[in-house]
Copies of this chain bind each other. A is one copy, B any other.
Amino acid sequence: MPCSWITSTGTVSDCLTDPLFLCVLSNTDTCLIPKISAAGASTERNVYTPAADSEIVVYGSPRSVPELPMKPNGAPTPAVMTRAALQLTGMPYLFVNSGLRIVPEVPTIYLGAEPGLDIRYGNAVPRADAIHERAAQVGLQLGRLSGKTGRTSTIIIGESVPGGTTTALGVLTALGYDYGVSSSCKDNPLEIKRRVVEEGIIASGITVAGARADPFSAVTAVGDPMMPAVAGLVSGMTQSGCEIILAGGTQMIAVATILTHLGLDTSRISIATTKYVYQDRSIDFDAVQSDLGCSIHIVDPGFLNSRMRGLQRYEAGEVKEGVGAGGAMYAAGMLGFDQKTMRERVEVVYGELMGLE
């Protein structure tokens, strides 16, 4: 293993060349259900989180939104890890707007997607196929651009979707998988999530057989607009022979499962996430690994050794992952940065965000 703070399951390449980092930003009204998500300052404020996250990655602090996307005294948004990793590596990055209610003050690739609706009504992403088609166009072009001159290059795809673990649970349940689901909350509101998903599946009338035959029907019923966007990006990119890293926990497991049922060759796809997700006992990673067969990279940013209380909260299971943080840090590790350098850069970014220096 070329990097002591990263563990990978399965067979993995020990090099990573020329990475491109993408982050898909989406809203789903599912996040407005009380107690579903901690990915924001409050349930009402969660809608601002993707926009704020992208602004923190680019500028170091939010611009278009009224407050920080985190609870007072809570763990910081994982955007601080993403920003730190992008700063260290200098890798190019782009954001994709797939159904935002609040458009950030950063450039975004627009797919014409509407925000996702509350999955309890069973029709959360009416045009999932259209989002997939547009995203596939972008993926094709970025794959060509990234893989020019026949090089094998790596594209890392993260997400920021408040409420996204619930929609992930929705799609995984619709497709007949029970891996459990992670959460941005320390105390995972799993019972609420399961009830919400159950309501949506009943309202949509979808069956496991129907969902497996047409994975977009599962997304349409109980998913969110990030899913067809990432699936489309990957579909387009695989045509150029890129290595693809899905950067996230449960949400990217859901996307990988969708890709499998779309019949896509997933041999060049792996998942990267933080150890905070991997250690979460509410997800059965062994079953994920066995079903998907893809490698999983687990990144430990070493916050146990941090003097900053907000980062220590990650070790206690708060927030855990998002904004492609695990994948961005994986790239930093593979490009030779050690854990201490990574952690100290996160501390600087976090300090600047909180106005501490």
Contact = CB atoms under 8 A, between A and B. Distances in A.
Interface in A118-145: 134-135, 137-138, 141-142, 144-145
A290 interface: no
A111 interface: yes
A93 B138 CA distance: 9
Contacts of A141: 92-94
Interface residues on A, range: 20 to 34
Interface stretch (A31-39, A99-107, A212-220): A99-107
A109 B106 contact: no
A112 B93 CA distance: 18
Given A93-B141, A151-B149, A108 B110 contact: yes
Contacts of A91: 144
Interface string A75-94: 00000000000000011111
A273 interface: no
A148 B153 contact: yes
A110 B25 CA distance: 14
A53 to B, nearest CB: 16
B92 A137 contact: no
Contact of A145 (B17, B92, B105, B109): B92
B110 A103 contact: yes
A145 B18 CA distance: 8
A151 B17 CA distance: 14
A137 B58 contact: yes
Contact of A20 (B93, B145, B153): B145
Contacts of A17: 149
A146 interface: yes
B110 A144 contact: no
Given A92-B142, A145-B92, A107 B151 contact: no
Interface in A134-186: 134-135, 137-138, 141-142, 144-146, 148-149, 151, 153
Given A93-B141, A148-B18, A109 B110 contact: yes
A97 interface: yes
Query: What 10 A-B pairs come out closest when comparing CB atoms?
Result: A92-B144, A92-B145, A18-B148, A110-B110, A92-B141, A107-B138, A107-B134, A109-B109, A108-B110, A107-B111
23 contacts: A17-B149, A18-B148, A90-B144, A91-B144, A92-B144, A92-B148, A94-B138, A94-B141, A103-B112, A107-B109, A107-B110, A107-B111, A107-B112, A107-B134, A107-B137, A108-B109, A109-B110, A110-B110, A142-B145, A145-B145, A145-B146, A146-B148, A149-B151
Given A92-B142, A92-B144, A92-B148, 10 more contacts: A20-B145, A92-B141, A107-B109, A107-B111, A107-B134, A107-B137, A107-B138, A108-B110, A109-B110, A110-B110
